[in-house]
Each structure stands twice: as structure tokens, then as C-alpha cells.
Chains A and B, each alone.
Chain A
């Protein structure tokens, strides 16, 4: 299929998300669309898939203009899409998820047999192994994505596959596998539109690269283009991924986690005997694929989760049984990973959000009442110091951009005495400028002697900031390494390839462990030293 976009534009009110986009995907080609968060990539794909209607411009398939009233039309036209946020119904089986919308039914009654066979047919044809009866929410993320791909390929005549940020939640090994699948599909004649902001992957797999910035096409590049070239096209100016910082001077322990275990409601040990120490004046980066216990660890440190066993000491004090409010009061700073859910109250004003965890303390509280003038002064100070772009302190936070909302959180956490800081995904969904600002503030924070635990799923961020890197896998710290440890080593740790076999049956599907053994073992680090042996024992 040949897909052509001509002058495609999408406006939301006065905001133009996509502006006059031209793009051609040739049959059997992998065409990468590269752009930052918020550059307009997802809007573009949603138009292609019929979820949004373009304001102007047209979409041509094999030269014919098409208009999609909904995803059903796009599917019928031969377009399949793998969404960034998986569109799988959790409690459904794989077969049911694949057949949803185009059910195998006679007179409305489903045929489980036909649905199962259809999945097996597609998975055989493309070599994507799947159990049609497995329940999707029980599957590892990588396998879920395979379900999504099979779903997209199961359309009546899918010839174009859109992959929207498909690698965001995958392990390095799963990414390698996905890129191979993409190559195979393209070789078989399927056109692929690959949306990403990760330069390395784009470079590895794309035939052509279109870079968009602020809704406009700013460059057409060959995959031979250098990373620096792509990055500057993407962000519009040369960026320094490296943060200037002096060597750390670690002092006394500010966070000591020992043998921490958290069991989820479903009875799964999400944090499993975890031990970790963060000292004053250092940033410890916690690397790992999301969903390996980082969230639960952070929430246990704050006290939102009661651990099932183990101890947490903050600033040398066992915090067992104390409330989050007490921990915050005693100098725990906390930047939550999900800003909109946990970080700010979007209906509250900027000023109110800035005192959200201090409203009961002096000077913000006076005899049971909120001291409005103190709150206002605090807001004015923070807005100036942290360069929060808002029309007024009384504007609701919902009117702020993601970066500025994040600055509100940072300002709040940095405006009171603190001894230890948990920063979870501190720059997620934040533009480059704000990222630089936040990174430098974190380093400055470290230099004042605060201990910082940086939880990030972006290895780049970990490398840029961390003085020491701990890798979390399956609720355990599987390695603590120096910040100059090569990516491959950390990547292997992140998928649990370099650890001794666990007692219980390892739940992760075989694919993760297997393919990672193909990677070169380049490190002379002590974590890599027992590499061979551990792999041998693993499976």
C-alpha cells in the first residue's frame, strides 16, 4: 500500500496540533516519524486511523483520497494500528481481543473455534507465537504487544501498520525482537509507519525518517543521518544531554531500605526483599523496566503503602507506622511519577498546589484557617524562583503546560526543609527546556546535601544524573553499578538475565531471557562477571 498525506492539518480551537503535514509511505517501507512528546505525532496517527477528523488536507491510499468516519473505516481500508497505550481488554482472552469488532459469529452467536483458529493462522504466518486462550491482563507487556500486532494484522486486508511509540514499555530484549518483527513484516510487503522519539531505534530500522516539531515537518532524513543531526532536528537546537555536575560527595545514609517486601492485592510479591541505601549528597538512579516494583517502592517510602515486611529508615529514623504527613514534615520530598494523578490537583490554583502538603503548617495555617497572604507570598516567590509560566497564581493548574505543572511540584518540594528526595520520572511529558531546568535543580539539590533517589525508565536520564545506578527487576535490586557502566550491562540486568534463578517459577515468558543472551557482554564490571554462570542457570 502506498500512503500519502497532503497538507494534513488538525486544529483544536486556536491550537494547531498538526500543520500542513506532507508524508509518503511507499509499499514495504518502514517510515519513521520522529518527534518530541507533544510534537503532534499522536494526533497525526489518530487522524490516519479515523479517531480524529482532519481540519484540512487529505489522506490518499494508493492515490485515492479517503475519508475515515471512524477506526472501522481505517481498518476496512487496510490500516492496522498498534497504540502507544495498548488497547487490549484486560479480562478478555487473546482470541476475543483479536476478534473484537470483526467477530467470528453466525447469526450473532460467537464461534470460539473460529476465533482461536484465526489467531493461530496469523501468528503462524508471521511467526508471532501466541496462546489464543490466554487472558491478556495476565501476559507480560511484550506479549501483550504481540497481541496488538496480531490484532492489527488480522484486519481483512491490513497492508499498513502504524506503530505508535511501541517500545516505551519494552525491555531492551523485547525491543530487539520487535525491530526484527518489523523488518520481517516490511520484507513481506507490509508498509510500516513507526512513531518514536528514540533515535537509536529509528536509526536501526527505518528506511526513511520524517521529523516533526510543533506540528510541522521540519526535516526528511536518511537513516544514515547521525544521532546529533536527528536530535537537533527534533528539538530545534543543539541539546546537551549531559548535565554538568561535580563528583558526588556522599555522606551519611539518608534512606535505608532493608529486606522490603510488598505483596499486591492479587497476592503477587511486587517488591521482594529489596534493599537499597541512598546517602546524603548523592543521586542514586533506579533503573528498570516499568512495573518491576518501582512504584510500590516509592509509595512505601512515602508511606502510602504499608509494606508486608522489611524496614525503611529515612534520615536514620525507622519510619515504620508513621504517616505520609509525618514523613513529609520530617523532610521527605516526593515527586510522584504520575503528575496528573498524584502530583497536582488540577482544579486547584497554582498557589494552592504550591502549599498542598504544607497548608496545615505555619505560616500557611492560622488557628484553623488558611492564611491567604502567606500562601500568596509563597506563590509569588516560587513562581519567580522556578520560572513557572502562569498568568496568575490563581489560575488552575489545569491551564498550565506539563512542564510548568511539573515545576509547581518541584517548587513545592524544594520550598521546605528536606533531607531526602524521591524523584520518580521527574521529566516525563516535559519539554526539553524544562527537562534541563529540572535536571540542574536535582543536581543542585544533591549538592546541598540532600540524598536523591531518582526513579526513571529513561536510561538516558539515569546516565545524565546518577552517581550510582541500582537496577530493579521483579521487585529486587539485581545490581548496583557505577554510572559509567555500559548500557548493555544495565540492559541485561533490567531483564533479569544476570541473576541467579529465583526459587519460585519465573513468571516472565521465555522470550525476554532468551534473546538477551545474544547481546555482547562488554563490561568488565563485577555485575557482569558472573554473567556466563548466571545465564547458564537461568534456563
Chain B
């Protein structure tokens, strides 16, 4: 990324004018709330996004719009229709993602299992799992100053790699599953390394090349599913063979209910986040990644090899995205991969990484949030348009990327040390 702190504008005289007494806790807290520090910017970004999302829900709903045609005659109609629409939409999202209130009633009445109650959370975790991987894939590259938009393509190749090992080899479970996962990571790494190699050798901007590779990967997937080698022997639509039972990710909560889809990939995801954290902040390789990300000239002068840093970082990032693919083809897609299995987890990884500010911990949190959005949106459709999750994500990260905008809209104060922004390089 290079998280960069923009120095506070020089002509900002809003430094403390009151003499330094011991300010009370409440005052400090109040000051914190009105300051554009990264925690508050995150919170305000979320609130603003949901506010804007609400407005868009209102203006795009035909019935509510019709109540506005006679707004001046009976404003309460329009206002209550708007309120109920927004409230119901967001409640639907909540119920799909966290806790379904009617299930809770049935559970208290004894007509529902505990597992049913957990279903929304399980869905949230299921959708969050690939996002952790793709978020890490984007975030790690960001720290080296690379904007990896190619997670989608890397994930697709990871998916295919894991799938092939998953059904073509005949191995005991202890070997088969790990091997399939590794195959996914390697396939993703190989594909991810391409933009890195291109940048290192020719200077081609990774944003353009990884977008092109995404498109190529998507078309390749369509072709690959149709090939005799991969295509399902039993079904006629575009779906692949299922992976062997020995390579399927075990479900985590199957004892509580078969519908709880969350599986071991989540654990691998958290482990990957811990690994990425260690890599970035403790390892010598991470030292090099961060150095190159901040200033490649000084890094080169210090003897670091820039090109190989780009290539290796992109390969590791691709490997992480490949794990997302493995999580899909060995998890929710284990009964057969379609063109739809990958959804847009790769692109969502961009928003996850931006919201998580390219820190592994933040990425896990962001993945959970966006996983919840996705689970909620998918369960709430068609009453709520499913793309509300994409829309809200984009608005949130727009504000995250432009803290100055949040600051201006809400008249926040500049924090000490300036605003935290995200950087990527131009041509």
C-alpha cells in the first residue's frame, strides 16, 4: 500500500488553543469522536455508506417513489414508506447475516434447533472465508506498493488446481486434502506471479495486466469446465466433476446441523492471516516488502532486488488467492464447480484489503463484515437487490480511501500525524 500519512496541511491553525490542563476523560473521548483518526473514519464510513444506501433504496423503489408524488399533500405516507423500506431492508440483511429473529422465536418455542439459529452466522463465515484469503492477497501486495487487482483470476486458477488434484488423484484423506489445498495455492501463485514478472521485466503496470489476466482466467474457466477432462460425467450443464470425498473440507459445525456450511477453510484462513502478519511485520522478507513498497529507489540502493521482490510478493499473493479458490472447490463447490462458484470474491478482496488497511487483522475483520453483507444480501433477495452488498462495500471503501472526504462531510478535525491514506503507484 504504503499506508501514507498525509502531513496535515501547513496552514491548519486548529492546534490546541486552550492551555494544556488535564482534560477529563469525557472530553478526550469527545475529541476522539470528532477527529478523523482511522478508527473514527472507519466507523463514519460505515454509517455514511448505510445512509447513502438507504437513500438509494428509497429512490429506486417504485412504490416509495410513488408516495413522493403527493409528498406535499400527505408527507407522512412518503416518510413512513421510506422508513419502513429502509428498516425492513436492513433488518433483512441482519437476519440473513447474524440472527434470524423468527428463528429465535421458534427456538424459544422449541420448534427450531440450536443449529438453525446459527445458520446465518455460518453463512456469514462461509462467505467471509474466501474473502479473508483474497483480502490478504490484495493487502500483502499493497504493502509492496503493488495494486493486485488480479485476485479473481488467481483464485480461479487456484480453484482449478485444487479441483484437479481433488478428483484426479486417489489418496487417503490425510494426504489428499492438504495436497489439493497446496495445488490450489501453487496454481494461484503461478498465475499471480505473471503480473509481477511483467512489472519486474518490462514495467507493465500490474493493474492493467492483472485485469487482463482476470478476463483471460474467466474465459479459461468457461472453456475448462467444458472440456472432457473436467466436465461432469452425470450432468449436462456447465459443471465439473465433484472432488473425491477424501479431499472435501470437513464442516466445522456439522454436529449441530447439516445446513451449517462453514468448514475448515475458515481455520486455514485465520492461519493464513496470522502467517501474513508474521511475514509482514516480523520476517526479513516482510521488511523487504515494506521497504520496496515505501521507496523502491532507497531499497535498491540498499541492495534489495526490486524485480524479484515484486515477483515473489505477487506469487505469495497469488498463492493466498489460490487458497481462496481451493477453499471454494473443496468446500462449497466440492460437488462440482460452475462458472458461478467463484462469485466475485477476488474483486471483493480489493474492498476487504482497503477497509482492513492492508493489515492482516483488519482484513479478517473486514472480511467478516463483507461476508456478513454478502450473506445478508443473498438471503434477503429478491426483496432487497442482491447487489446492495457490492454497492455498500464500494461506498465504504471510497470513504476509507478518501478520509479527507469524510472529514469534510462531517467537519471532523485533523488528527495528530495527519490522515491515513492508501497509496498505489502510477504508470
* Contact between chain A and chain B defined by CB under 8 Å: yes
Instruction: Count A interface residues, CB 8 Å.
Output: 33
Proximity bits, A14-37, B CB within 8 Å = 1, else 0: 100000000000000000000000
Judge whether B285 and A324 touch: CB under 8 Å.
Answer: no
CB-CB nearest in chain B for A347: B294
- On chain A, the residues within 8 Å of B73 by CB distance are none
Interchain CA distance A338-B297 in the complex, whole Å:
10
Judge whether B284 and A359 touch: CB under 8 Å.
Answer: yes
Check: B282 CB closer than 8 A to any chain A CB.
Answer: yes
- On chain B, the residues within 8 Å of A328 by CB distance are 302-303
On whether A347 and B297 interact (CB within 8 A), knowing A323-B305, A325-B304, A360-B284, the answer reads: no
Interchain CA distance A14-B288 in the complex, whole Å:
36
Judge whether B282 and A334 touch: CB under 8 Å.
Answer: no
- On chain B, the residues within 8 Å of A539 by CB distance are none
On whether A370 and B301 interact (CB within 8 A), knowing A341-B295, A347-B294, the answer reads: no
On whether A12 and B283 interact (CB within 8 A), knowing A342-B301, A347-B294, A357-B302, the answer reads: no
Interchain CA distance A12-B10 in the complex, whole Å:
5
On whether A304 and B295 interact (CB within 8 A), knowing A13-B15, A360-B284, the answer reads: no
Partner of B303, one of A325, A344, A348, A365: A325
Partner of B291, one of A327, A342, A348: A348
- On chain B, the residues within 8 Å of A357 by CB distance are 301-303
CB-CB nearest in chain B for A341: B297
- On chain A, the residues within 8 Å of B305 by CB distance are 323, 325
Check: A433 CB closer than 8 A to any chain B CB.
Answer: no
Q: Which of A364-387 contact B (CB under 8 A)?
A: 365, 368-370
Interchain CA distance A327-B303 in the complex, whole Å:
8
Check: A165 CB closer than 8 A to any chain B CB.
Answer: no
Check: A534 CB closer than 8 A to any chain B CB.
Answer: no
- On chain A, the residues within 8 Å of B302 by CB distance are 328, 356-357
Interchain CA distance A341-B295 in the complex, whole Å:
7
Check: A302 CB closer than 8 A to any chain B CB.
Answer: yes
CB-CB nearest in chain B for A303: B303
CB-CB nearest in chain B for A12: B10
- On chain B, the residues within 8 Å of A346 by CB distance are 294-295
Judge whether B298 and A345 touch: CB under 8 Å.
Answer: yes
Proximity bits, B1-31, A CB within 8 Å = 1, else 0: 0101000101111010000000000000000
- On chain B, the residues within 8 Å of A365 by CB distance are 284
- On chain B, the residues within 8 Å of A329 by CB distance are 303
Check: B299 CB closer than 8 A to any chain A CB.
Answer: yes
On whether A370 and B4 interact (CB within 8 A), knowing A341-B297, A357-B303, the answer reads: no
Interchain CA distance A327-B287 in the complex, whole Å:
20
- On chain A, the residues within 8 Å of B11 by CB distance are 12, 53
- On chain B, the residues within 8 Å of A429 by CB distance are none
Check: A223 CB closer than 8 A to any chain B CB.
Answer: no
Check: B204 CB closer than 8 A to any chain A CB.
Answer: no
Q: Which of B147-206 contact A (CB under 8 A)?
A: none
Check: A132 CB closer than 8 A to any chain B CB.
Answer: no
Judge whether A368 and B291 touch: CB under 8 Å.
Answer: no
Check: A336 CB closer than 8 A to any chain B CB.
Answer: yes
Judge whether B15 and A324 touch: CB under 8 Å.
Answer: no
Partner of B287, one of A12, A334, A342, A359: A359
Shortest CB-to-CB span from A144 to chain B, Å, is 25
Proximity bits, B282-320, A CB within 8 Å = 1, else 0: 111111101100110111111111000000000000000
Judge whether B300 and A324 touch: CB under 8 Å.
Answer: yes
On whether A304 and B304 interact (CB within 8 A), knowing A345-B295, A347-B294, A352-B287, the answer reads: no
Judge whether B298 and A342 touch: CB under 8 Å.
Answer: yes
Partner of B282, one of A12, A302, A369: A369
Proximity bits, A184-204, B CB within 8 Å = 1, else 0: 000000000000000000000
Shortest CB-to-CB span from A416 to chain B, Å, is 12
- On chain A, the residues within 8 Å of B12 by CB distance are 13
Judge whether B284 and A369 touch: CB under 8 Å.
Answer: yes
- On chain B, the residues within 8 Å of A338 by CB distance are 297
Judge whether A370 and B283 touch: CB under 8 Å.
Answer: yes
Query: Known pairs A328-B302, A369-B283, A370-B283. 18 more at Cβ < 8 A?
Result: A12-B11, A302-B301, A324-B303, A325-B305, A328-B303, A343-B298, A343-B301, A345-B298, A345-B299, A346-B294, A347-B2, A347-B294, A347-B295, A348-B294, A352-B287, A369-B278, A370-B286, A370-B287
30 interchain pairs (CB within 8 A)? A12-B11, A13-B8, A13-B12, A13-B15, A14-B15, A323-B305, A324-B303, A325-B305, A326-B303, A328-B302, A328-B303, A329-B303, A334-B301, A341-B298, A343-B298, A345-B295, A345-B298, A346-B295, A347-B4, A356-B302, A357-B301, A359-B287, A359-B288, A360-B284, A368-B284, A368-B285, A369-B283, A370-B283, A370-B286, A370-B287
Give 6 closest A-B pairs by Cβ, nearest first.
A325-B303, A357-B302, A12-B10, A356-B302, A342-B301, A324-B303
